[in-house]
Structure 1
Amino acid sequence: MFLLVIALIVYLFPKGGKFKYDFQKGKIWQYETLYAPFDFAIYKTDEELNREKDSLKSKQVNFYRFDSKVKETVIEQYQQKFSTYFPDSLYSGNTKKRLKADGLEILNEIYNRGVVQTEVDNDPEDVVNLVRGNEQSPMFYGDLIQLGQIQKRISSILERKNASQYFGTFYNLFFDDLKPNVFFDEALTNKVLEEELKSIVGTRGHVEKGKRIIAKGEVVEGERYNMLYSLRKEYESQLWSESNYNWILFGYILLVSITFLMLILFLYKYRPLVYENNNKVTFIVFNVLLMIFLTTLALNYNVGFIYVVPMCILPLILKAFFDPRLGLFTHVITVLLLGFIVPNGFEYVFLQIIAGIITIQTITDLHKRANLFISVAQITLIYILGYFGLYIIQEGHIKNIEWQTFGIFILNGLATLAAFPLIYIYEKLFGLVSDVSLLELTDTNSPLLKELAEKAPGTFHHSLQVANLAEAVANEIGANAMLVRVGALYHDLGKMNNPMYFTENQTTSVNPHNELAPKESAQVIIDHVIDGIEIAKKNKLPDRIIDFIRTHHGTSLVYYFYMKEKESAEEINEDDFRYPGPIPFSKETAILMMTDSVEAASKSLKNPTFSIIDSFVERIISKQIEENQFINANITFKEIETIKKVLKQKLTNIYHLRVEYPE
């Protein structure tokens, strides 16, 4: 996986060398005086190129195409319909002949100039190119006749011929047949514009070899900045195209390997459980690759869109599934990798790391939807303030600040909201559990917990009490309170198969264990762990919850029936009375073992006092420590003492004990 990831990252990186000097506009040149190592052209900045493009677009001449067939069609229809509007019964032969010639003259004059349907916003003074066949000729747009002007044009021609009295008849004759014969040619207009845009030269002037570009202590601005920018661009393109291609590729591989190795070593040293789980490592690597892929995609499309990529999704999601420290470390490693390829690497790395820190510090209780929106707003604000501060340092003013960049940061914030559906998708793809899923599992109206409440009401009540105790303890020592609460709710699912064999569900004086041998009774008790695992898997509970079912008794003895068997038998196999394990392997599973044992045993207390509760809790947990039940859990003696203190306090509240006064 390590080698594959390195290969993919290097493949995704843009193919180009790296300029050995790092500089920013408005900053002091910290290096020695730089002279041009070779002849190179001065490239125009993006602002200059955009100004030239905008200038060409503003001077764009639209093309219109002349269609001669329209005139022929209209004249043919005119000749066919003329006698209908000027019948022989009303007009003499000479008059009719003269009027017909007047109508033809009107059509010729109109169509020779050109009738255009208004499609493009042009002023009458705008110059346009009129294409007739293979010839084009410039003319004013106002010289073309628009459809709305035809009525006025007909009236003017008839008035000139002293035939204004026939205007109504001619207009009715032409009304249905007059059509435009000049059309806007959008394809030709765009083609010519594209050719003109392509003809823009990307350079202006050149720098000869040996010329001083910038001296140490000078400010990187104006022409110095343009020369440095051009040198870097020329240097990187030449570097990649020369014979040292393999060396540059090797350099990329080396740097990416070192950076990514830091992540692997972090997992190995500080998160061994994650490191040993291929599924979790794959999940982390997948998210790193996804962020790199999206960023390189934005770079290839438009360098201005790199901040649209919601990098803060990475620490947010990793915090939801693992912990804040792992989320931040992975985010920093990813940002450092991207710092190789993005322009203004310092600015990018600074903004992304600050935003990542804010993400880790602000997003808590992700299952509360309002928290995500508040945190995203804070992340967006940090992006905007950070960019604003960097711009002021670089430029010394805000006159030319690109306000649309703030819009890009807002888009980044909106894209970060995609973390919520992504968490759900990742849970299904990788089988992981987040706080959102844990919150859903705490619903006591879920079918599985309702079934537990119906079949084993005493066990259900016990599970609720343990959940409350475990959650209070977890909050006190900084463990995952939501996770341990869910584990406590489901830890005794197996008791549903034989509920009456467990004291909390016995509502009568009849005890079914009276009919069984101690060894058989112990087996029934032990089986509730295995039955619980089977029920949990059947109902598709996450593995992290099933771990609580497996470990909540560890490898402890079913002590009551063990002692009962010991009274009647000379030889006894201790393994027959011992839970199969495994023992707890995390703070959360250790907490459940302690709270479960204390809560269950507390039901046997009669007339409890402060001293009884104190010795009772001490005795149970000390016995678990003596049996090495917590040697695999990352829990300290100090935390165990805190747990004892909380349990004593909670039991005191449950039994409503008053403060003991001195005698």
Structure 2
Amino acid sequence: MKNLISKWYKNHALIYKILLFIGTTFLIVYLFPKSGKFKYNFDKNKPWQSENLYAPFDFAIQKTPEELEKEKSAIVKNSAVYFDLFSEVKDFVYEDYNKKFNATFDDSLGRKKTELYRIGKLVLDQIYKNGVLEEDYNYPNDKSVILLDGQNQVATTTYSELAKIDAFRKILEKQLEEKRNSNFSAVFVSMFFDLIEPNLKVNKSITQNALNEELDKISSTRGNVERETLIISKGELVEGHKYDILKSLESEYESQVWSASNYTWVVISYSLLVALTLLMLLLFLRKYRKDVFLDNTKVTFIFFNILLMVLLTTLIVKYNSKFVYVVPLCVLPLVLKAFFDARLGLFAHVLTVLLLGFVVPNSYEYMFLQITAGIVTILTVSELYKRANLFISVGQITLVYIVTYFAFFVIHEGSIIELDLEAFGMFILCGLATLFVQPLIYIYERLFGLVSDVSLLELSDTNTKLLKELSNKAPGTFHHSLNVANLAEASANEIGANAMLVRVGALYHDIGKMKNPTYFTENQSTGLNPHDELSAQESAAIIFSHVLDGIEIAKKNNLPDRVIDFIRTHHGTSMVYYFYMKEKEIDIATDADDFRYPGPKPFSKETAILMMCDSVEAASKSLKDPSSTKINHFVENIINKQMEDGQFLNANITFKEIESIKKILKNKLANIFHLRIEYPE
């Protein structure tokens, strides 16, 4: 049992990666749509590129959304409106009319009164023939209307046959004019305004229920295709009825067939493809980015970003697939490039796009667009910490999106007449969303403990608290660090290494000397050397300690691990030769290993560059009467000794790159010492 636990502990990093791999695969498959993919790609009004297609099973031809909408519109237009008819209102109005008429007109009018009464009654009969509306509902005049008295249907008419509440005025004036009684118009109008009451009110519940019943009767299909029926032949244009049949088959294929009978097989197949994709990423890291592969935090960070992009895209597709290009997918290569390198960023981006091909519509077009944009992102964004560079790059990415989409649209449609400008707006939104990469990088640094070029830029400021302290306590070391930083940055630029990283590493590599600054020659301003009173071994111990002291100070000040690596490795396992020879004068059997730094040796181009520049800059102070020949021999001698001592065996740096660094150091030292040609006297 103990051996088993010990074995598990030794392999805990590998076990974690396996669990991370399985977990990420599970989550991505969970997000994917659980349906089969129609294996044929086709576009409207384009030739059918595959073999002759026969119906694999019986299926119904689906109506297009336009056809269904047209049918719905027709039903809504022709549907009847139900009104409640309150018959007791009419009786009340007639009774009230008799009272008000007798109170208004005097009996002295004789036969005229009888005639006027008949006119008023005639007007009431006309406006209450079908009923008086409570309000104007703005229905079309030919809208069918059904009148209900309680639950019973009493009449069917049209909306134009229903009277508005003020309709009596025109009818009354017309009747009075025909009977030559216009002088009584004002009296009648005044009386009718108080008299007329509406007796029709729309019944929204019954009207809506009746409409829903009719809408439910709409069939979503029109006709069937029997199994083994030839749907389309190779080379035939996909248009009209054939296009509708193919869309129906695609819909049937992706819903009923797969979700009902082969769900498990679909999930297993998705899992295999996703697992294969993520395995390729792990193999890439293991072969080409060993340091990243061994760091579980970094591997988790990469998997998390891939999962985040899949999550965002699937959510957008489920909401509305036309907004799929709003997802700022180019944030992925930007973030990975900021924390790692361009090659890893592009590789992860391409794999993510391949995964999203299962989710998005028009997958080929989508993948071409996103891979192209990812390549442009990697090629254009060189210094992410410079805001102008980011804005320019985002503009270029957006332009690539627009141009590529335009080309695809013309290929599909054959013209630009129906060009969808809304898509261009989505690409602009995508570009604006990509600008969020700056705060996102800051968040990632805090969550995962990583460091980007943006943070390195902040650390390179010589006004930071730690560098201020170094300049006050050890001014000579501070000046030395500045010189090394300039040499290292120039060397890194020459061979394509991370210049910002190596500059920051150079600025902080000797901060451990703050503990005992006077024990280092660059800080000895009085001419007194405290090493004169110490043994060679004691002096060597103090010199060695500045590395461990530097690591301790760096950790207290929360410097990133990538910067601390420069403190650990800037001397590698080299020897403090002066004190070794001093001790050897006393004891010839002195062990050379006692005068070597504990290491480790440099394990990257950047740390190797710092070792070379640090040694050359420090030793250059001892040059007397420097000349070009002396400087050349001096640089060659120091770096060749480091190579012979095996200091660069763990660093991925080539002989050609080392020669380029030598050339830069020679030129820089020549400028520092202001070498001039000798003029004749």
Q: TM-score if structure 2 supplies the norm length?
A: 0.81
Which residue pairs with 2:388 in the alignment?
370
Are positions 1:501 and 2:516 aligned together? no
From 467, 481, 499, the equivalent of 1:449 is 467
Which string of whole-angstrom CA distances, capped at 9 and with x for unpartnered residues, describes residues 85-140 of structure 1?
xxxxxxxxx7899xxxx9xxx9xx99x9566599xxx5886969899987999975
Q: For the residues of structure 2 that align with 1:62 and 1:498, how far apart are their CA atoms?
A: 97
Are positions 1:612 and 2:630 aligned together? yes
Are positions 1:16 and 2:41 aligned together? no
Mapping of 1:457-472 within 5 angstroms? 457-472=475-490
How far is the alpha carbon of 1:642 from its aligned partner? 0.6
The 3-state SS of whatever aligns with 2:450 is coil
Are positions 1:645 and 2:663 aligned together? yes
Which residue pairs with 1:420 in the alignment?
438
Which residue pairs with 1:31 in the alignment?
50
Are positions 1:212 and 2:263 aligned together? no
The 3-state SS of whatever aligns with 1:311 is coil
Given that 1:26 and 1:221 are in contact with CA atoms closer than 8 Å, whether structure 2 keeps it comes out as yes
- Residue 641 of structure 2 aligns with an amino acid whose one-letter code is K
Give the 3 Å change call, closer, same or farther, for CA 559–391 of structure 1 in structure 2. Answer: same
Aligned residue pairs: how many?
626
Q: Bigger CA drift: 572-581 or 266-275? A: 572-581
Give the 3 Å change call, closer, same or farther, for CA 117–21 of structure 1 in structure 2. Answer: closer
Give the 3 Å change call, closer, same or farther, for CA 30–297 of structure 1 in structure 2. Answer: same
From 560, 585, 591, the equivalent of 1:542 is 560
Give the 3 Å change call, closer, same or farther, for CA 221–608 of structure 1 in structure 2. Answer: same
How far is the alpha carbon of 1:305 from its aligned partner? 2.1
- Residue 38 of structure 2 aligns with an amino acid whose one-letter code is F
How far is the alpha carbon of 1:248 from its aligned partner? 2.8
How far is the alpha carbon of 1:238 from its aligned partner? 3.6
Given that 1:60 and 1:193 are in contact with CA atoms closer than 8 Å, whether structure 2 keeps it comes out as no
Are positions 1:385 and 2:406 aligned together? no
Which residue pairs with 1:299 in the alignment?
317
Given that 1:471 and 1:485 are in contact with CA atoms closer than 8 Å, whether structure 2 keeps it comes out as yes
Are positions 1:490 and 2:508 aligned together? yes
From 630, 638, 648, the equivalent of 1:630 is 648
Q: Bigger CA drift: 206-215 or 582-591? A: 206-215
Given that 1:318 and 1:326 are in contact with CA atoms closer than 8 Å, whether structure 2 keeps it comes out as yes
Q: For the residues of structure 2 that align with 1:341 and 1:126, how far apart are their CA atoms?
A: 49
From 562, 565, 579, the equivalent of 1:561 is 579
Which string of whole-angstrom CA distances, capped at 9 and with x for unpartnered residues, describes residues 60-83 of structure 1?
999999999xx9xxxxxxxxxxxx
- Residue 519 of structure 1 aligns with an amino acid whose one-letter code is Q
Q: For the residues of structure 2 that align with 1:496 and 1:550, how far apart are their CA atoms?
A: 16
Which string of whole-angstrom CA distances, capped at 9 and with x for unpartnered residues, describes residues 3-60 of structure 1?
222222222110111223232334332222112222211223445456666x479959
Are positions 1:431 and 2:441 aligned together? no
Which residue pairs with 1:2 in the alignment?
21
Are positions 1:289 and 2:300 aligned together? no
Q: For the residues of structure 1 that align with 2:471 and 2:152, how far apart are their CA atoms?
A: 90
Sequence identity (%):
62
- Residue 421 of structure 2 aligns with an amino acid whose one-letter code is W
Q: Bigger CA drift: 15-24 or 624-633? A: 15-24
Which residue pairs with 2:221 in the alignment?
203
Give the 3 Å change call, closer, same or farther, for CA 8–558 of structure 1 in structure 2. Answer: same
Which residue pairs with 2:17 in the alignment?
none
How far is the alpha carbon of 1:460 from its aligned partner? 1.2
Which residue pairs with 1:43 in the alignment?
62
How far is the alpha carbon of 1:220 from its aligned partner? 2.3
Which residue pairs with 2:263 in the alignment?
245
- Residue 462 of structure 1 aligns with an amino acid whose one-letter code is H
How far is the alpha carbon of 1:235 from its aligned partner? 2.1
Mapping of 1:569-584 within 5 angstroms? 569-584=587-602
Give the 3 Å change call, closer, same or farther, for CA 116–498 of structure 1 in structure 2. Answer: farther
Which consecutive residues of structure 2, in runs of 5 or more, have no partner in the other structure? 1-19, 90-102, 107-119, 177-181
Given that 2:34 and 2:259 are in contact with CA atoms closer than 8 Å, whether structure 1 keeps it comes out as no
- Residue 405 of structure 1 aligns with an amino acid whose one-letter code is A
Give the 3 Å change call, closer, same or farther, for CA 473–220 of structure 1 in structure 2. Answer: same
Q: For the residues of structure 2 that align with 1:67 and 1:418, how far apart are their CA atoms?
A: 63
Which residue pairs with 1:310 in the alignment?
328
From 606, 624, 629, the equivalent of 1:588 is 606
Give the 3 Å change call, closer, same or farther, for CA 232–573 of structure 1 in structure 2. Answer: same
How far is the alpha carbon of 1:310 from its aligned partner? 1.6
Q: For the residues of structure 1 that align with 2:266 and 2:589, how far apart are their CA atoms?
A: 75
Q: Bigger CA drift: 370-379 or 235-244? A: 235-244
Q: For the residues of structure 2 that align with 1:60 and 1:418, how far apart are their CA atoms?
A: 52
Which string of whole-angstrom CA distances, capped at 9 and with x for unpartnered residues, describes residues 582-602 of structure 1?
110000000001101111111
The 3-state SS of whatever aligns with 2:60 is strand
Q: Bigger CA drift: 465-474 or 514-523? A: 514-523
Given that 1:523 and 1:576 are in contact with CA atoms closer than 8 Å, whether structure 2 keeps it comes out as no
Given that 2:141 and 2:158 are in contact with CA atoms closer than 8 Å, whether structure 1 keeps it comes out as no
Given that 1:56 and 1:197 are in contact with CA atoms closer than 8 Å, whether structure 2 keeps it comes out as no
From 429, 446, 464, the equivalent of 1:411 is 429
Given that 1:116 and 1:144 are in contact with CA atoms closer than 8 Å, whether structure 2 keeps it comes out as no
Q: For the residues of structure 1 that align with 2:519 and 2:495, how far apart are their CA atoms?
A: 35
Which residue pairs with 1:224 in the alignment?
242
Given that 2:75 and 2:214 are in contact with CA atoms closer than 8 Å, whether structure 1 keeps it comes out as no
Q: TM-score if structure 1 supplies the norm length?
A: 0.83
Which residue pairs with 1:75 in the alignment?
none
Give the 3 Å change call, closer, same or farther, for CA 48–347 of structure 1 in structure 2. Answer: farther
Give the 3 Å change call, closer, same or farther, for CA 63–123 of structure 1 in structure 2. Answer: closer
The 3-state SS of whatever aligns with 1:22 is coil
